Amino acid sequence: MKLCQITPAFVDEIPRELEPGKLYVCCRYRAVKHLCACGCGVAINTPLHPTAWTLICNGVSVSLWPSIGNWSESCQSHYWIRNCRIQWAPKWSPRRIKKERAPRQLELERYFDTKVTSETRRPFQFEPSTSSPSSGWFKRLCDLFLRRR
């Protein structure tokens, strides 16, 4: 059954078993994970960094940008999470998926080539940068939500 909304859960670590309708936000690792909103049961990883997803939180609801395109799975779901609501998008053709993925993959490779050496590269393991002005804000926001649990 397709979801129309999702509830954020700020956690210290992403649990092994995910509940449908929950968006797990792990500030420590800058990761967000949820089960596909179509109901197929596939776990969707959305890492938070400049070439992947951005989490927007206003203290009440959360949004993820860009959209979530589950192109590697049979469901081919495509949706946005905006203010805790699932907004469904039209399915893309294989040609469009390929066209849209190519520049993003190049951007990802360039980002990691300039940020870390090949010997220390660990995909989806991000340490908070103390030099980034936004890292302190992000940590304070996560601390606020973790205290409210």
Instruction: Read off the amino acid at residue 55.
Output: L
- How many degrees, rounded to 5, is the angle at CA 109 between CA 107 and CA 110? 65
φ/ψ of 106, rounded to 5, equals: -60, -45
Residues 6+ apart with CB under 8 A from 101: 71
Rounded alpha-carbon distances, angstroms, from residue 7 to 30, 60, 90, 138, 141: 18, 10, 23, 19, 17
What is the C-alpha separation between 3 and 17, in angstroms, rounded? Answer: 18
Domain boundaries, the chain: 7-148
Residue 15 preceded by cis peptide, ω within 30: no
Q: What is the pLDDT of residue 146?
A: 56
Q: Count CB neighbours of 30 within 10 A.
A: 22
pTM value is 0.69
pLDDT tens for the chain, 149 residues: list them: 899 999 999 999 999 999 999 999 998 889 999 999 999 999 999 988 877 888 988 878 899 988 898 878 888 899 999 999 999 988 878 787 777 766 666 666 666 666 554 444 333 333 334 444 444 555 566 666 555 54
Pairing status of strand 22-26 against strand 7-11: parallel
Q: Are 61 and 83 in contact (CB under 8 A)?
A: yes
Q: Which two tokens stand for residue 134?
A: 């936004």
Q: Are 67 and 101 in contact (CB under 8 A)?
A: no
Nearest Cα neighbor of 62 from 50, 46, 39 is: 46
